[in-house]
């Protein structure tokens, strides 16, 4: 342990004691909830891109995994070797320290970065992925030891916390490679009941091997951890990366000029909380990361105590005090899981409130909602000239043409014209409830993807836009304590954050700033492009670019998509 850290812990312990006294005195200051530092400037660092050539001002980028071509099971196969390790990274110049993560890293480059290990796969060419577990014994986040984790009542506390299981989200994968919760393994090779390496591709204890046939159409998938009882923590800690499947249909669209490029700009959108310097004033029982590290809820703050008294800082209903009460509730553990976690700081590709420059043409973005629970309802608005960093809400920005989703290419382009704010349910006077059926602009639930071409043709150089989220959290019935925006009400007395200062986080609305540069636009006008693209998407769809979707129960007389 470094002197600095020991010093910090000592000071922290004192601060914690002080806060606890304050709490006892009834002044209401201490509870087990914290907000990220309030002086993080928005839109000062650039969006981390794919590969070292796309790094931002503070060295952030998304490293690709290294491909080795081998012959396996009689077929050319792409082999990737990654490790899961602990590392730290500067995420923003205004954070009080580096952030500790768990995450994938390519074994040959050992380039440890947040969301590293991106894989670009080709339809029909299988991928063999070998994952070596090099995690330390201690988890960087609060682990609830009482969660179910095995047979006969075994819980998380009965097992090591450095268990991993790699799941390809969106992959059509054989069972032994699906990385389901009981397929976990530890660095020493201890493993869950259904762990199994790829037949014919064994590995030493502490490594798991996975076989992905890639017998599916082009799309953005992602791989992330899925170990029983700690999936929420491992994925939030960073054990996740992109897995892009390309195919010939997509390549032909690129060659025909109907897609700007094969990969596009990834936008992996997540919400995170970062430990502030004064963590022990906010959250005296916090005993995990240092300032700058990831924060995670660890205490189940009940809305109503057992004696019926309301908890003004409560966040979650509790079995014994709901109506009707549930029976068999166990005592709340000291370090507890909570139903779903929302955080106050938006991170895209690991960048906090990043900015990105684009040419005045059609630009392809690959969106993934990599958040645990937060939905995003997205509109693109012009940046307010008089209020830099804020959006001119209600003024539509360049149209977003959605060409694909987590299911691959759509049969027809979905047009999001940025003229549809979240529809609010008038029966909730607090304006925190969305109409669940829409209409929506672009709505992304957790783990959903959107393949979007934004049309910047004709936009004057120097124009800037804000990708703006107005989805309640939870969705559709939200709570104000989970929403952060400039000038929001001070909610410190109800377990929330102070007012967000202009130009700074926390903010869950202004996600990304897009600045349009100078240059030539596309030679094909957008209405012509759209007509041609729609023809190709429809033809590709009907020709089986998406096998298995065309007919109900395989019956050709019953088309699933009569509108085609
Ligand atoms: Cu998943």
pLDDT tens digits along 410-432: 999 999 999 999 999 999 998 99
pLDDT at 313: 78
Same domain, yes or no, for 240 and 360?
A: no
Mark which of 239, 255, 271 sits at the end of a domain.
Answer: 255
In a domain, 124, yes or no: yes
Residue 121, pLDDT above cutoff 80: yes
Ligand 1 center to 224 CA (angstroms): 6
Same domain, yes or no, for 385 and 502?
A: yes
Ligand 1 center to 233 CA (angstroms): 13
Which pLDDT band holds residue 557 (cuts at 50, 70, 90)? low
Ligand 1 center to 169 CA (angstroms): 4
In a domain, 21, yes or no: no
pLDDT tens digits along 506-517: 999 999 999 999
**Helix or strand (DSSP H, E) at 8:** helix 3-24
Q: Are 76 and 63 in contact (CB under 8 A)?
A: no
Same domain, yes or no, for 250 and 384?
A: no
Ligand 1 center to 381 CA (angstroms): 30
Residue 83, pLDDT above cutoff 80: yes
**What's the burial of 485, exposed, middle or buried (CB within 10 Å: 0-12/13-18/19+)?**
middle
Ligand 1 center to 200 CA (angstroms): 27
Distance separating alpha carbons of residues 564 and 562, to the nearest angstrom: 5
In a domain, 113, yes or no: yes
* Exposure on the CB side of residue 511, measured as CA atoms within 13 A: 26
Residue 12, pLDDT above cutoff 80: no
Ligand 1 center to 349 CA (angstroms): 17
Ligand 1 center to 113 CA (angstroms): 20
Ligand 1 center to 497 CA (angstroms): 30
Range 264-291 average pLDDT: 95
pLDDT at 492: 81
pLDDT at 326: 86
Ligand 1 center to 307 CA (angstroms): 39
Mean pLDDT across the chain: 91
Ligand 1 center to 241 CA (angstroms): 11
- The residue length of the chain stands at 564
Range of the domain at 191: 52-255
Q: Which residues pair with 477 in a beta bridge?
A: 433
Q: Are 441 and 342 in contact (CB under 8 A)?
A: no
Which pLDDT band holds residue 158 (cuts at 50, 70, 90)? very high
Q: How many domains does the chain have?
A: 2
Q: Which residues pair with 351 in a beta bridge?
A: 348
The one-character DSSP state at 176 is G
Range 436-462 average pLDDT: 97
Residue 181, pLDDT above cutoff 80: yes
Ligand 1 center to 48 CA (angstroms): 22
In a domain, 513, yes or no: yes
Ligand 1 center to 79 CA (angstroms): 22
Q: How many CB atoms lie within 10 A of CB 508?
A: 24
In a domain, 25, yes or no: no
In a domain, 493, yes or no: yes
Ligand 1 center to 226 CA (angstroms): 8
Same domain, yes or no, for 227 and 115?
A: yes
pLDDT at 526: 98
Ligand 1 center to 282 CA (angstroms): 32
Residue 551, pLDDT above cutoff 70: no
Q: Which residues contact 114 (CB under 8 A, 6 or more apart)?
A: 60, 89, 91, 99, 101, 103, 238, 350
For residue 390, give the CATH number of its domain. Answer: 2.60.40.420
Whether the complex's predicted ipTM is more than 0.85 is answered with yes
Ligand 1 center to 468 CA (angstroms): 24
Question: Pairing between strand 127-133 and 75-89?
Answer: parallel
Looking at the chain, the whole-number percentage of residues with pLDDT higher than 70 is: 90
Q: Which long-range contacts (CB under 8 A, 24 or more apart) does 478-484 make?
A: 478/432, 478/433, 478/434, 479/432, 480/430, 480/432, 481/315, 482/342, 482/374, 482/508, 483/432, 483/508, 483/509, 484/344, 484/508, 484/509
Which pLDDT band holds residue 300 (cuts at 50, 70, 90)? very high
pLDDT at 556: 55
pLDDT at 548: 52
pLDDT tens digits along 314-367: 888 898 898 898 877 778 999 999 989 999 999 999 999 999 999 999 999 999
Same domain, yes or no, for 78 and 195?
A: yes
In a domain, 9, yes or no: no
Ligand 1 center to 167 CA (angstroms): 7
Residue 550, pLDDT above cutoff 70: no
Residue 26, pLDDT above cutoff 70: no
Mark which of 236, 255, 274 sits at the end of a domain.
Answer: 255
Ligand 1 center to 230 CA (angstroms): 13
Same domain, yes or no, for 62 and 186?
A: yes
Ligand 1 center to 44 CA (angstroms): 31
Residue 64, pLDDT above cutoff 50: yes
The one-character DSSP state at 140 is S
Mark which of 255, 277, 310 sits at the end of a domain.
Answer: 255
In a domain, 145, yes or no: yes
The DSSP string of 504-524 is BS-BSSEEEEEEE-SS---SS
Question: Pairing between strand 119-122 and 240-246?
Answer: parallel
Ligand 1 center to 372 CA (angstroms): 10
Residue 276, pLDDT above cutoff 90: yes
User: For residue 511, which of 381, 384, 424 has the smallest C-alpha distance?
Assistant: 381
């Amino acid at each position: 342990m470094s002197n600095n850290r020991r010093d910090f812990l000592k000071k922290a312990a004192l601060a914690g004691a002080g806060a606890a006294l304050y709490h006892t005195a009834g002044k209401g200051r201490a509870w087990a909830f914290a907000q990220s530092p309030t002086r993080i400037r928005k839109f000062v660092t650039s969006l981390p891109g794919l590969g070292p050539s796309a790094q931002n001002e503070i060295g952030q980028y998304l490293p690709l995994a290294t491909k080795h071509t081998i012959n396996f099971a009689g077929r050319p196969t792409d082999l990737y070797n990654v490790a899961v390790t602990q590392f730290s990274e500067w995420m923003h110049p205004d954070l009080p320290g580096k952030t500790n993560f768990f995450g994938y890293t390519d074994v040959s480059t050992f380039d440890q970065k947040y969301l590293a290990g991106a894989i670009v796969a080709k339809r029909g060419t299988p991928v063999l992925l070998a994952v070596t577990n090099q995690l330390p014994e201690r988890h960087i986040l609060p682990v609830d030891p009482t969660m179910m984790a095995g047979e006969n009542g075994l819980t998380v506390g009965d097992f090591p916390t450095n268990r991993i299981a790699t799941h390809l989200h969106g992959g059509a994968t054989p069972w032994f490679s699906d990385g389901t919760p009981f397929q976990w393994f530890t660095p020493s090779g201890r493993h869950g009941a259904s762990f199994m390496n790829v037949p014919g591709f064994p590995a030493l204890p502490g490594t798991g091997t996975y076989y992905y046939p890639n017998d599916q159409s082009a799309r953005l998938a992602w791989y992330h951890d899925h170990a029983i009882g700690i999936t929420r923590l491992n994925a939030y800690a960073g054990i996740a990366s992109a897995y892009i499947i390309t195919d010939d249909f997509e390549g032909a669209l690129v060659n025909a000029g109907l897609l700007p490029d094969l990969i596009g700009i990834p936008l992996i959108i997540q919400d995170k909380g970062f430990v502030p310097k004064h963590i022990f004033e906010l959250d005296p029982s916090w005993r995990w990361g240092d300032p700058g590290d990831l924060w995670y809820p660890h205490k189940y703050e009940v809305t109503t105590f057992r004696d019926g008294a309301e908890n003004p800082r409560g966040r979650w209903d509790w079995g014994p005090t709901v109506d009707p009460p549930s029976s068999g509730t166990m005592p709340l553990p000291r370090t507890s899981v909570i139903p779903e976690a929302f955080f106050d700081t938006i991170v895209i590709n690991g960048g906090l409130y990043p900015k990105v420059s684009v040419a005045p043409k059609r630009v392809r973005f690959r969106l993934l909602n990599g958040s645990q629970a937060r939905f995003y309802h997205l509109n693109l608005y012009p940046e307010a000239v008089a209020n830099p960093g804020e959006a001119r809400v209600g003024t539509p920005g360049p149209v977003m043409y959605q060409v694909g989703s987590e299911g691959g290419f759509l049969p027809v382009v979905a047009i999001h014209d940025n003229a549809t704010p979240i529809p609010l349910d008038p029966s909730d006077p607090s304006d925190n409830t969305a109409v669940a059926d829409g209409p929506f602009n672009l709505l992304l639930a957790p783990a959903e993807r959107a393949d979007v071409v934004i049309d910047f043709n004709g936009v004057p150089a120097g124009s800037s836009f804000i990708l703006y989220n107005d989805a309640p959290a939870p969705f559709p019935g939200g709570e104000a304590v989970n929403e952060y925006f400039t000038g929001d009400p001070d909610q410190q007395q109800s377990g929330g954050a102070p007012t967000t200062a202009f130009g700074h986080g926390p903010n869950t609305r202004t996600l990304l700033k897009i600045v349009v540069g100078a240059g030539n636009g596309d030679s094909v006008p957008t209405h012509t492009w759209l007509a041609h693209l729609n023809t190709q998407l429809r033809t590709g769809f009907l020709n089986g670019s998406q096998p298995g979707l065309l007919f109900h129960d395989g019956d050709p007389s019953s088309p699933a998509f009569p509108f085609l």
